[in-house]
Structure 1
Amino acid sequence: MDMTRERLLAEVFVDTADTLVEDFDVIDFLHTLAERCVEILDVDAAGIMLSDAAKVLHAAASSTENARLLELFELQSEAGPCIDAFTTGRPVVNVDLSASAERWPRFAEAAQATGFVSAHALPLRLREKVIGALNLFCERPGTLTAADVRSGQALADVATVAILAHRSLRHADLLAEQLQYALTSRIAIEQAKGVLAERRGISVDEAFALLRGHARSHNLRLSDLAREVANGTSAEAELLGTAGTGESGTTGATGTTGS
């Protein structure tokens, strides 16, 4: 393992330790994890799906808007590597999308239309419990090595432990509450991204970078800020929604991407 990958993996485990604190932001953690997957595994995009109390999968975080849209399509069509990884609890790796038209016809077509040529999916699991899946997408031919798969599964396991361990699961229904909170927060974040993209005249990815950067620099919870921006009910919403250049403008988004 090279030093860069080793350092990035170490950072992920440090981030995981932060999940033990009371005000842990699960959505921000999952987005960070998706970004780390792209850096560590040399893939082009990553996304994380979580199941709710009824065992229904939902898109929770992604490294790019294209990955999020493809995951939504995968959920809508109820077919694809992530669905299989969640259902079986086993990795689905090195999927050549051009050769997957028979197995997942709609997903393979949508993935290639988005620019991806291969895909991988790893279950978010702890022993026999599977709470979601990690999606990895590539825009160029290639395979994950055995070492890559081990590293990717370790990252998926980290996400699982972070969610399950949050607040030590003191109550029997905490897992369902945490997952439901993450999914509800996801809706608010998507709404806020749309508001910022429209008001600023920027892409959805740039809008998310702006939103996340502002939350971090002002020590705000990402989901709380997103609700304020979507509802236009706070000074933060006014600040982010004003198309000026002096305060938290799109220039600031560039510097926060990937942080």
Structure 2
Amino acid sequence: MTSQQRVLDILVEAVDTLTDDFDLIEFLHRLSLRCVELLDVDAVGLMIVDQHDELQLIAASDEKTHLLELFALQHAQGPCVRCYHSGQAQLNISLTTSAATAGFGPFAARARKAGFTTTHALPMKLRHQVVGAVNLFSTKINRLSASDIQIGQALADLATIAILQQRTIEHSHTEKAQLQSALSSRVVIEQAKGILSERQGLGLDETFDSMRAYARPRHLRLTELAQQVIDNTFEGNIAPAEIPERP
């Protein structure tokens, strides 16, 4: 099988996996393994930014990379961190020269100790939104070719799409849950209004105003008050006198 065919097969595999119920962690782990396979590197780690705008390791091709990425993140150093903040690829960094690793602190020494001599970082971004970076490590001194950089960036873009899709799905589910909760709350309130309206001989608007006037100073949610009325556990007195004057 040619390398071009293998790249196409992996891209098709990745796209087929991007369904609304896919496992994001498994997908990103598989993508890190595919990077190792296609790019002639020995290890890969993916870091994404969390809700606090801090980079976190989310997937790695092996435990050695895992430990290295955690170290780089802990000290806010290394090409992956620099790549995320700049949004630009960091390529062909020799870990054996002090000039190439200037500003990385102890990162280079820790990487060499793990057996790596060259590293690269590719941004995970969509247009101007950067969500993380892909770190590539090699145990031999090598340079990524132009085609390797294109393939690596394509895989990084796939990871970005997967992450953003997952966030969109989660946001959508949250919105739907919030809407459903609001609708359910409204049903409970309407039921309580009907009970109180019949009990006190008030119109529905007046009953709702009286419920609001009772609940507000007592820091009681309308839904909670309504549920107490429905459950017949409400022990207070919602009287017409509590109804505010309408403008």
Candidates 20, 26, 47, aligned match of 1:49: 47
Higher relative contact order (CA 8 A, sep 6+): 1
Taking only aligned residues, the RMSD between alpha carbons, in angstroms, comes to 2.1
Check whether the contact 2:84–2:123 (CA below 8 A) recurs between aligned residues: yes
Matched with 1:129 is: 129
Q: Which residue of 1 aligns with 2:26?
A: 28
Superposition deviation, residue 155 in structure 1 = 0.8
Compute the TM-score of the two structures, normalised by the length of structure 2: 0.65
- 1:196-211 aligned within 5 A: none
* 3-state SS of 1:24 partner: coil
The equivalent of 1:162 in structure 2 is 162
Distance 1:96 1:175 in 2: 45
Please list every run of 5 or more consecutive structure 2 residues that lacks an aligned counterpart in the other structure: 175-247
**Structure 1 residues 105 and 29: CA distance shift in structure 2, 3 A:** same
* Aligned match of 2:64: 66
Structure 2 counterpart of 1:116: 116
- Go from structure 1 to structure 2 and tell me whether the alpha carbon gap of 1:20 and 1:114 turns closer, same or farther (over 3 Å shift): closer
Equivalent positions of 1:235-254 (< 5 A) are none
Show the counterpart of 2:37.
39
Q: Which residue of 2 aligns with 1:102?
A: 102
Query: For the pair shown, which has the larger CA radius of gyration, 1 or 2?
Result: 2
Give the TM-score taking structure 1 as reference length.
0.62
Map of 2:10 onto structure 1: 12
| Alpha-carbon distance, 1:174 to partner | 5.9
Change (3 A) 1:16 1:166: farther
How far apart are the structure 1 equivalents of 2:102 and 2:151? 30
Q: 1:159 to 1:140 in 2, by over 3 A?
A: same
Structure 1: how far apart are the matches of 2:105 and 2:43?
Answer: 21
1:206 paired residue number: none
Residue of structure 1 equivalent to 2:220: none
State the match for 1:77 in structure 2: 75
CA contact (8 A) 2:119 2:135 kept: yes
Q: Percent identity of the aligned residues? A: 44
Q: Any runs of at least 4 consecutive aligned residues in structure 1 with deviations exceeding 3 A, and if so which?
A: 173-176
Q: Tell me: CA distance 1:151–1:86, structure 2 relative to 1, closer, same or farther (3 Å).
A: same
The alignment partner of 2:151 has SS state of: helix
Query: What is the deviation of 1:77?
Result: 1.2
Q: What amino acid maps onto 1:95 in structure 2?
A: I
| 1:113 to partner: Cα distance | 0.4
